[in-house]
Chains A and B, each alone.
Chain A
Amino acid sequence: MGKRTDLHKKNLQTIFYPESVAIVGTNKVKGTVPGDIFTNILQAELNGVIYPVNPREKWIGSLKAYKYIVDIPDPVDLAVIVFPSTVCDRALEQCGEKGIKSAIIISAGFREIGEKGLEREEQIKAIAEKWDISFIGPNCLGVINTDPASRLNASFARKFPAEGNIAFLSQSGALCTAVLDYAQARNIGFSKFVSFGNKADISEIDLLYYLMDDEKTKVILLYLEEITDGPSLMRAARDVMEKSHKPVLIMKSGRTSAGASAAASHTGSLAGSDEICDAAFRQAGIIRCDNVEDMFNIAIAFAYQPLPKSEKIAIITNAGGPGVLTTDEAIRQGLKLAEFNEDTTGKFRRSLPTTANISNPIDVIGDARADRYHAAMTGVCQDDNVDGLFVILTPQSMTDIEKIAEEIAKVANESRKPIYTSFMGEADVAAGIKILQKHHIPHYTLPESMCKPYAATLFFNQMIKQKAERPTVFDDVEKGKVQKVVNENLESGKTYLSEFKAKEIIETYGLPVIKSGLTTSEKEAGSVAESIGYPVVMKIMSDDIVHKFDVDGVVLNVRNREEAEKTYTRIISNVQKSMPEAKIDGVYIAKQIENGTEVILGVKRDPAFGPVVMFGLGGIFVEVFKDVSFRVAPIDKESAVNMIKEIKSSKMLLGARGRKNLDIDSIADAIMRLSQLALECPQIAELDINPLIVLEDGQGCFVADTRIILTN
């Protein structure tokens, strides 16, 4: 961690647990931000001293007000600044003079309003740096800490939430107030609640590192509108997961932005920023949520129940239909219905009516009361084949809803398996739901909604157990040589490297390139083809031609010298007709690999996450189905293998329908080498290896064609 990051971690402790707070720029007017913040801090019964600062008032409420921060006679831990943005610099400067190291700047009127605001933001950042101050904001709702040791409500939210073990961090202040209301209606409490606005100083990454060690927080929720430092966010989430076993759930807006449309390569067009964001989050163990409801559905599963050990679940229901709906969604989410052992089915035969369905999903029948639910739940909880339990209830005339809710709470209290519930309906089941919420049993309005949280908690548990592998750093690469080729091309204004030059680059990074040569005459074509060995592929080589097939510039299956010589002339003539203005470098001849499977590898540089590597099966699979996987560089061996296995058509590579396994290790090696090249050569904007021809297990793979797009 850097110097400012260490400082922020220390100063965040006084932001959340201040013994004294100065509210700078507050006033007596209710219904205004400066006035309401004062009231909120007062009403939350802060465990500390409050100092209102106002240039004109002698008293605010029953508290003595000070003209300036520096007039406060005692030491102050935290300044909450609510002055208009034009004087925040002066207020922060006085904080420095007073020795205050922590601040929350609520005021708007900074970066979000344009150039003038940006200038102000830079000014306050410089002042904070000068005095070693850490601040949250500006342009934010504020900070809430429900811990009784603090009870800080330095915000203009309408309410102070209940205490809980979920921390909520948001870039949007308005979303915060909606979330507080949503959570209150569902009896969900918070440990810390932070609106960090423009994140000019303290960012979500600093907050993640603080919350990693916060004993009151078990789950961290984060709403982001922009990712400014993807790799640091990934590292922080990974650290939080590995060191404290706390999940980070992120709702990231902007899913539909079309960033890939103008890309010049396959990888560029397939790797949209949102797909990369998804992949990066998965790689870091971050759970991505689609909306507020989705986020809290998953959050309560993490916050209230143990993590599941496997995908094997049991469903208990008093209604067939919802059981089937839940089963469908469970399968879609990658879960499995557990097969009960004989002991369990024996117990069910004895305790449930003959009309009940005692296999999974267990249908305890519409007239079931609490005793039947109890028998079913205890039965599956004792069954080693079951690792999670979904309980569904629909309200019939005889259903003792509240008693069943109490029974579920009792069983959940004694069980180490996660139990989720869905009491369907609204008015009739309301009292039962309240009981479940009181006992921290996750409840979902729709039974299908239980599946995604279970899959998310299972994914997280698996990620915790995965030992982070250190990516291999290959030392048989020639970084200097690559840099020289890249610089030479950039200096001469070339940003597109065609096959010949691109192969030279990737070959120096140990990627296996097919035997090949560039020819500039018919005669030379014949002798180069002879030396390579037949069959060969012949292609036009020109920086002006990106799509060689479109100009009849590619001929496959050339099988002897005579054919090679004639093909040379034919290709040149074709291209001269189609694109007379193209500057032709010659005809490129390469060994044609037979019986191989074509895959595609690529690199794209994402503005938020840096270099990203893509893998997919070649041909129609990548063109039409966009069946590809991504990872942010650097990529370790396990991740590289997982990239290959996670595409939908991976069975084609893994010996489907009597085919032999392909050489997965050699693809993984190529992915890792490409990842290293992308990291070590930042001028590579996009790179395609299309195709990489993969042979059977143990026989390797070969780069057949490649292109690179450079950037300054």
Chain B
Amino acid sequence: MELSEVKLKVKQVVARVLKTDEADISDDANFIFDLGADSMQSMLLIAAFEEEFDIEMDVEKAQEVQTVGGAVEFIADYL
């Protein structure tokens, strides 16, 4: 999968889980500081990414990912 496609899907998942407008999600947006995710939503995001990309992530490492761009790179490594 192309990196641009991964980014597009990541933003769609983030917008869906955090109930925010996809257009407001920048590449360097921080899930907590910029998008307001709380700890529960962070877990939901991980689960949603796994489902969307049909992958199984290292949860501990996934929790360290803070930004949308970081998530794109992290997921791409699994694909």
Contact = CB atoms under 8 A, between A and B. Distances in A.
Interface of A: 25, 27, 29, 32, 34, 54-57, 83-84, 86-87, 90-91
A55 B33 contact: yes
A84 B39 contact: yes
A57 B32 contact: no
Contacts, number: 31
Interface of chain A: mostly helix, strand, loop or mixed: loop
Contacts of A84: 32, 39
Contacts of B19: 56
Interface in B6-43: 18-20, 30, 32-36, 38-39
B38 A91 contact: no
Interface of B: 18-20, 30, 32-36, 38-39, 66
Contacts of A90: 30, 33
A234 B4 CA distance: 62
Contacts of B20: 56
Nearest to A55: B36
A54 B18 CA distance: 13
Q: Which 4 residue pairs are nearest across A and B when measured between Cβ atoms?
A: A56-B36, A55-B36, A87-B33, A87-B32
B36 A87 contact: no
Nearest to A34: B38
Contacts of B38: 27, 29, 32, 34
Contacts of A83: 32-33
Contacts of B39: 84
Contacts of A56: 18-20, 35-36
Contacts of A55: 32-36
A666 to B, nearest CB: 66
A84 B35 CA distance: 13
Nearest to A29: B38
A84 to B, nearest CB: 6
A87 B35 contact: no
13 contacts: A27-B36, A32-B38, A55-B34, A55-B35, A56-B18, A56-B19, A56-B35, A83-B32, A84-B32, A87-B30, A90-B30, A90-B33, A91-B33
Contacts of B30: 87, 90
Contacts of A57: 36
A380 to B, nearest CB: 63
B66 A54 contact: no
Given A56-B35, A87-B30, A90-B30, 10 more contacts: A27-B36, A54-B36, A55-B32, A55-B33, A57-B36, A83-B32, A84-B32, A86-B32, A87-B32, A91-B33
Contacts of A87: 30, 32-33, 66
